[in-house]
Structure 1
Amino acid sequence: MDTRKNVILILASVGTFVEALDIAIINLTIPSIQEQFHIGAETVQWLQTLYVLFFGGFLIIGGKLSDQIGRKKMFLLGALIFMLTSLGAGVSQRFEVLAVFRALQGLGAALVMPSALSIVTHTFRGEQERNHAIGIFSSFAAIGSGSGLSVGGIISTYLSWHWVFLINVPVLFITLILSCYYLPADEKNETSQKTDAVSGILMVLGLLSLTYGTHELVHIKEQPFFVIGSLAAALILLIMVFYRLRSVAQPLIDLKLFRHRSLVISNAAFFMLGAFFIGFLFLISLMLQKDMGYSAASAGLMLVPFSIISALTAKFILPYISKRLSSSRMGIFGWLFMLTGGLLLLTSVYTGHPLTVVLLGAACISGVGMTFCFTALSVMGIQDAEPSNYGVASSLTSTSYFLGAGIGLSFMTLMSQVFPSEFAVGSLNLIILIGYAVLALGMLLYFILRSLQGKRREIAVS
């Protein structure tokens, strides 16, 4: 790879690193935010839910605009929105204002992620070169997610929770300046057709209604109208999205994309990955602080090695494994680490939370498993799509990830309220995580078996 290509890859990767970092970074700041605004865990959780739902809900629009208007334009616009909303969140003095800026952060992230990946896939054209570049790009997202906990804990203790947002501003400012110069100009032949924004907005509203209804199911006796109404509204809105995609001339998502089994399985596994990993980030912060009595800084420092492990895995082990395993097999490899980590965390609940077992479980998940899973599923999601649909295909997988994150976190909160535990993190929470891993492994094994059957048929016919 030449120097200019390397710079382009780094700039695109920095954009996705910051956005992934912001998913995790807030978790260890939750106690200090609760203390300042005098709110409960079920309220502060909306800071995470709003971010991932706006991120996931608008990703399809971001991917479509990236394909139609231009990759560079959307990357710069998204990064600018993310920088300004990070500044707004960092100086917020009311929880409602913070929540609004947090949601708008997700919107900015939704514009950056697909355009950044599209920039990478169009810059690196050879199959091996492209897969290697996507691997590096995806590993930055995994490293950002893994390092967010440690960075958030240290910042919130020695500075304040405001700085977990303000730290984005200088990083993105420098990225914007360099991107203006180094990113390749958008091709003149890129279409300027209208994007089906109505479908995207209906989808976001439907997902928000579904998440709210899931989150508030525990209060259905007290508020039956709002809970049932939100679930019914979600169903109606999502049905409207489906029929609109089938009927409009230029749909937000071409439903023909779902002919590719690799894309369907990748999206389903990404849904489980979002539910698993975002749930893990939320639970590990509670476990270390509430159940084990560590400060945010101590918890953050204990998780620093896993950020390093993730980076080393991405640098030295991931390229070796990716050359020898297909994306689906590498996904299974990563999910086995996630499953092992979940089992270790569950074991720790029954053995008095020994620190070694807890940290070993966290290492399997955030240090190794996430790096392989995110990279493998990202490659798998676009491997059979046409180049003109890379933006939409990549945003579909990311949408599935964040949809899983939002709904999975709300479901876990619901289960915690229905079946309370003596610990902040009960065994039921971890059993749910393990269930996500088992489902993902089952889907990937199914894909491999169907692929092998298809190859045998081709050989028999020939």
Structure 2
Amino acid sequence: MTVPNKWGALALLAAAQFVLILDLTITGVATPILGRELHLKPQELSWITTAYTLVFGGLLLLGGRLSDYLGRRRVFVAGMLLFAAASLAGSLAATGTLVIAARAVQGLAGALVAPAALSLVMTIFKDDPQLNKAMGVWGAVGGVGGAAGVVLGGLLTDWFGWRSVFFVNVPVGVVVAVLAVRLLPEILSGETRGGFDLAGAVTSTGGLAMLTYAVEGSGGLWAGVLAAALLAAFLVIESRSANPLMPLTIFRKRQLSAGNVLMFLVPAAMQPIFFVLTLYTQLVLGYSPTQSGLSMVAIAVTVAVTASTAGGRALSRYGVRATAAIGVAFMLAGVALYLRIDVDGGFLSVLLAPELLSGFGFGLMVVAATVAATAEAAPGEAGLASGLMNVSQQTGISIGMAVLISLAAGVTSDSTRPADLVTGYQTAVWAAVAILGAALAAALLMLPRHRTAEVSEERARQLA
């Protein structure tokens, strides 16, 4: 396929991905102020993030298949317009319940946009020697989006109030949708199968929702049992459906499976760390929202520079396994250094070094994992593969947030004393270290030793 302005199309798609990842964290800095104004309990605050990631992750497979069936540009544009509308609703919300509902609809929109965007990138750069560079840019955008959200969220909250973190998405969503019609090709997968696996979408989303509810501690045993039943039903439906939402045979592809394991484990560890640092800097160190956001600039810059420069070069020289493993090892070292946080800490003494280490590691890992998770996708599976990778990421974030924040809250026991808060935060960091240890083992044991060139040749043969 010939696209007149490939890099313009990539820039637009990357901008959309940036906004979706940004929205994972942009509300985090505003959460303490939003919670006070709308009278939300501490346990309810985490659902401002969880509602977004849960719906996002639960419906990504359906979004990916819709983009395969209906056309990727069409689904992308519809998703961006829905995202803008949900953001407007969030900015006008008068209660915490309405804010959480708006976040859920934002997640639905993200589930339409994300797989369509990545599958468009894969198709636009099909058989292009610049593919690895494009994936490096994509990885950089995804990696820096979460950290940049903390910074932008702090600035907007201080200057314009918490509602601005929602409203800022409205013009962005509209402009991206309009430009998409001019810059993006309308791509159909060529599949002729009809129908959508709505039963699979309902059971997978419901199962993940109940699982998160159970892990978070609010649902109890009944939520865990219901989650297991729904997820089991999802597997049965997928094995018997003529048009499965997620054909189970896709997991026979070794690289794809390994990439998805990494994209589950690493966000499960790192996203709660951003949330913990937001609380630590504001509630313990007394930073303003702006200061809290700026205290994490280093990780955003490091991720962007590493992913866009060193990530692609490392893949070409060392292959996916070594690049991913080295990246996770750096993240593991960086997160372990966060255990030094205390009531008398500061940016230079306890935050800067781990930000640089974990940012460098994430920049390497995200490029390698993205290539691994999408390299084996056939033409009709492009939306599915990108959707599955995003499912892994968003589900990891949802489960990670539920588990780690619940651990911290359990140790703190509703105390507001800085020393007690720090003890709870350190517990969450220990859990993140354990998860990253599992991710390092997965990278070493599951990923093959392919060089990037070999991966690209295999991708080209399958997409030809």
TM, length-normalised to structure 2: 0.91
- Tell me the equivalent position of 1:443: 442
1:184-203, aligned counterparts within 5 Å?
184-187=185-188, 189-191=190-192, 193-203=194-204
- Tell me the equivalent position of 2:275: 282
1:95-174, aligned counterparts within 5 Å?
95-126=96-127, 128-174=129-175
- Tell me the equivalent position of 1:232: 225
Query: Which blocks of at least 5 consecutive residues in structure 1 are unaligned?
Result: 218-225, 453-462
**Does the alignment pair 1:390 with 2:389?**
no
**Does the alignment pair 1:431 with 2:430?**
yes
Shift of 1:192: 5.7
Do 1:70 and 1:190's aligned partners in 2 also have CA atoms closer than 8 Å?
A: no
1:289-438, aligned counterparts within 5 Å?
289-349=282-342, 352=345, 355-365=348-358, 367-420=359-412, 421-423=420-422, 425-438=424-437
1:191 to 1:202, Cα distance in 2 relative to 1, 3 A: same
- The aligned amino acid for 1:87 is L
**Would you say how many aligned residue pairs link Structure 1 and Structure 2?**
444
- Tell me the equivalent position of 1:457: none
Do 1:287 and 1:424's aligned partners in 2 also have CA atoms closer than 8 Å?
A: no
**Does the alignment pair 1:265 with 2:284?**
no
Counterparts of 2:376 and 2:342, CA distance in 1: 43
1:430 to 1:260, Cα distance in 2 relative to 1, 3 A: same
- Tell me the equivalent position of 1:460: none
- The aligned amino acid for 1:275 is A
Query: Which blocks of at least 5 consecutive residues in structure 2 are unaligned?
Result: 413-419, 452-464
Identify which range, 127-136 or 42-51, moves more after superposition: 127-136
Counterparts of 1:433 and 1:38, CA distance in 2: 30
Shift of 1:146: 1.8
Do 1:346 and 1:427's aligned partners in 2 also have CA atoms closer than 8 Å?
A: yes
Shift of 1:64: 0.7
RMSD: 2.2
1:106 to 1:358, Cα distance in 2 relative to 1, 3 A: same
Counterparts of 2:405 and 2:68, CA distance in 1: 37
Partner-residue secondary structure (3-state), 2:205 = helix
Do 1:349 and 1:426's aligned partners in 2 also have CA atoms closer than 8 Å?
A: no
**Deviation string, structure 1 residues 135-167 (Cα, Å, up to 9, x no partner):** 212221112112111111111111111111111
Shift of 1:254: 1.0
Counterparts of 1:275 and 1:59, CA distance in 2: 17
Counterparts of 1:378 and 1:319, CA distance in 2: 11
Counterparts of 1:422 and 1:111, CA distance in 2: 38
1:49 to 1:123, Cα distance in 2 relative to 1, 3 A: same
Identity over aligned pairs, percent = 28
Shift of 1:439: 0.3
Counterparts of 2:75 and 2:381, CA distance in 1: 16
Shift of 1:3: 5.9
Partner-residue secondary structure (3-state), 1:294 = coil
- The aligned amino acid for 1:182 is L
1:20-31, aligned counterparts within 5 Å?
20-31=21-32
- The aligned amino acid for 1:437 is L
**Does the alignment pair 1:182 with 2:174?**
no
Do 1:290 and 1:424's aligned partners in 2 also have CA atoms closer than 8 Å?
A: no
Do 2:332 and 2:437's aligned partners in 1 also have CA atoms closer than 8 Å?
A: yes
Do 1:328 and 1:444's aligned partners in 2 also have CA atoms closer than 8 Å?
A: yes
- The aligned amino acid for 1:125 is K
- The aligned amino acid for 1:122 is T
